Structure 1
Amino acid sequence: MTFGTLLTPEAVKVVTSASSKKRLFHEIGDLAQGAYDLNAALVVESLIAREALGPTGVGHGVALPHARIDGISDVIGAFVLLDKPIDFDAVDRQPVDIAFALFAPEEAGVEHLKALALVSRTLRDPAICTKLRANPDASTLYAILNEAKPAQAA
């Protein structure tokens, strides 16, 4: 699994208007609708429902919101770089400016976990996050993610 299989260039965006987690989820919903023809309201509702189980802010300014979406056949993603970090109830209490949302089919098992592991390992790399934060251009962000070589799991 690679970022090329999870993400299309249309699913990468720099967001300047998100002031809260809920607003970010609306941005992600709109992004997923434009890139994958998903129902934006369903995406937002699914992300909010998953977030109610526990925050997906993993620390160091990174969040990995994810949800199962009925009607999709593959695990897909959306990447957002925020120009202003927002509170996300992250484990380290740091605001989030990088969010990679994953959407999996209802029946997805191991593929969803593989995708989550790939994204998590990649975005734990400070050098990759520094590159992402320094390049507020969607096509450059897409290229950085596709070229990233995540550390292998131990």
Structure 2
Amino acid sequence: MELSSILKPEAVKVFGTLSSKKRLFQDLGEIAATAYGLRPNDVVEALQERENLGPTGVGHGVALPHARLSGVNSVVGAFLRLEKPLDFDAVDRQPVDLVFALFAPLESGVDHLKALALVSRTLRDEAFCAKLRANDQAATLHALLTESPSSQAA
């Protein structure tokens, strides 16, 4: 699995300021609708349900919200770089500015977990995250994410 197989260029965005996690989920719903044909309300509801189980802010300014949805045929993703970090109840209590959301089919088992591990491993690299934070063009961010040597899993 590679990030290029789950992340379309139109699913990568840069946002200035978001007022809340709820607003972030709404924007992710709109991106998922445009890029993958998903229903925005379903995306928002599924992300919120998952978040209620425990925050998906993994630390160091990174969040990995994810959800299983009907209407998804394979694991797909959306990436947001926030110019103004957002409080996300992360494990290290630091605000989040890099968000990689994953949407998986309801019955996806190992593929969902492989994608989550791949994204987590990719965004654990501090030097790589610094490159992402230094760019404000969606096309450049997509290229970095999909061409990174760590963006591949066995």
Is the 1:18–1:27 Cα contact (8 Å) retained in structure 2?
no
Root mean square deviation, CA, Å: 1.3
In the alignment, the residues of structure 2 paired with residue 21 and residue 101 of structure 1 have an alpha-carbon distance, to the nearest angstrom, of 13
Residue 70 of structure 1 corresponds to which residue in structure 2? 70
TM-score, structure 1 as length reference: 0.96
Is the 2:12–2:138 Cα contact (8 Å) retained in structure 1?
yes
Note if 1:98 corresponds to 2:104: no
Residue 9 of structure 1 corresponds to which residue in structure 2? 9
1:102-123: CA deviation from partner (whole Å, max 9, x where unpaired): 0000000000000000000000
Is the 2:3–2:151 Cα contact (8 Å) retained in structure 1?
no
1:75-97: CA deviation from partner (whole Å, max 9, x where unpaired): 00000000100100000000000
1:17 Cα deviation (Å)? 3.5
Relative to its length, the structure with more strand (as a share) is: 2
In the alignment, the residues of structure 2 paired with residue 122 and residue 82 of structure 1 have an alpha-carbon distance, to the nearest angstrom, of 18
Amino acid at match of 2:3: F
Structure 1 residue runs of 5 or longer lacking an equivalent are none
Structure 1 runs of 4+ aligned residues shifted over 2 Å read none
Is the 2:119–2:151 Cα contact (8 Å) retained in structure 1?
no
In the alignment, the residues of structure 2 paired with residue 78 and residue 152 of structure 1 have an alpha-carbon distance, to the nearest angstrom, of 17
Is the 2:75–2:111 Cα contact (8 Å) retained in structure 1?
yes
In the alignment, the residues of structure 2 paired with residue 10 and residue 140 of structure 1 have an alpha-carbon distance, to the nearest angstrom, of 12
Residue 19 of structure 1 corresponds to which residue in structure 2? 19
1:150 Cα deviation (Å)? 1.9
Structure 2 residue runs of 5 or longer lacking an equivalent are none
The structure whose RCO (Cα within 8 Å, separation 6+) is larger is 2
**Correspondence 1:133-144 to 2 at 5 A:** 133-144=133-144
**Correspondence 1:1-154 to 2 at 5 A:** 1-150=1-150
1:13-45: CA deviation from partner (whole Å, max 9, x where unpaired): 001231211111111111111111110111001
